Amino acid sequence: MSAQPDFSIITTCYFEEQSIDEFYTRLRKTARSLGRSYEMVMVNDGSTDGTFARLKHFFDTDPNVTTVLDLYRNAGQVNAMTAGLTHARGKALVFIDSDLQLDPEDLPSLVEEFDKGYDIVTGYRKDRRDPLLRRIPSWLANIVMRRVARHSLRDFGCTFKIYDAELVRAFELGPFKPWVTAYIFSRAQSCKELPVAHHARKYGESGWTLRKLVSFYMDHMVGLSERPFQWMSALCLAFAFLFFLRIGFAWAVPINVLPEVTSGMILNAIAFGLLVTLAVLSAVGEYVMRSFLMAQKYPAYVIREIHEKPLETGPLQ
50 and 187 share one domain: yes
- Give me the count of residues in the chain: 317
262 and 190 share one domain: no
The amino acid occupying position 308 is E
186 and 236 share one domain: no
Average pLDDT over residues 18-36: 96
Average pLDDT over residues 37-43: 97
Residue 19 falls inside a structural domain: yes
Which of helix, strand or coil describes residue 291? helix
The residues pairing with 42 across neighbouring beta strands, listed in sequence order, are 11, 68
Report d(CA 52, CA 43) in Å as an integer.
8
Residue 314 binned pLDDT confidence (cut-offs 50, 70, 90): very low
Average pLDDT over residues 118-146: 75
Residue 211 falls inside a structural domain: no
Residue 215 falls inside a structural domain: no
Residue range 244-277, pLDDT digits in tens: 676 666 666 665 554 554 555 666 667 667 767 7
Residue 221 falls inside a structural domain: no
Q: Give the residue numbers spanning the domain of 11.
A: 7-206+299-313
Residue 29 falls inside a structural domain: yes
202 and 231 share one domain: no
62 and 130 share one domain: yes
187 and 276 share one domain: no
Strands of the chain (E only): list them.
Answer: 7-13, 38-44, 65-71, 92-95, 120-125, 161-164, 191-196, 303-308
251 and 133 share one domain: no
Residue 91 falls inside a structural domain: yes
Q: Which of 216, 201, 215, 189 is nearest to 102 (CA)?
A: 201
Q: 10 Å Cβ neighbour count for 9?
A: 27
Report d(CA 98, CA 11) in Å as an integer.
6
81 and 21 share one domain: yes
Residues contacting 236, CB < 8 A, separation 6+: 273, 276, 277, 280
Residue 192 binned pLDDT confidence (cut-offs 50, 70, 90): very high
Residue 281 binned pLDDT confidence (cut-offs 50, 70, 90): confident
State residue 274's pLDDT score.
73
Backbone angles phi, psi at 95, to 5 degrees: -115, 135
pLDDT reading at 301 higher than 80: yes
Strand order in the sheet with 191-196: 191-196, 120-125, 161-164, 92-95, 7-13, 38-44, 65-71, 303-308
Residues contacting 82, CB < 8 A, separation 6+: 173, 174, 175, 178, 179, 300, 301
Which range among 56-70, 88-102, 268-282 shows the weakest confidence by mean pLDDT? Answer: 268-282
259 and 110 share one domain: no
233 and 100 share one domain: no
Average pLDDT over residues 80-84: 96
Residue 60 falls inside a structural domain: yes
CATH of the domain at 37: 3.90.550.10
State residue 160's pLDDT score.
94
Total domains in the fold of the chain: 2
What mean pLDDT, rounded, does the chain reach? 81
Which range among 164-173, 175-184, 232-241, 275-284 shows the weakest confidence by mean pLDDT? Answer: 232-241
pLDDT reading at 316 higher than 50: no
25 and 115 share one domain: yes
Residue 69 binned pLDDT confidence (cut-offs 50, 70, 90): very high
Residue 219 falls inside a structural domain: no
State residue 315's pLDDT score.
46
Report d(CA 169, CA 27) in Å as an integer.
24
CB 301 within 8 A of CB 74: no
289 and 305 share one domain: no
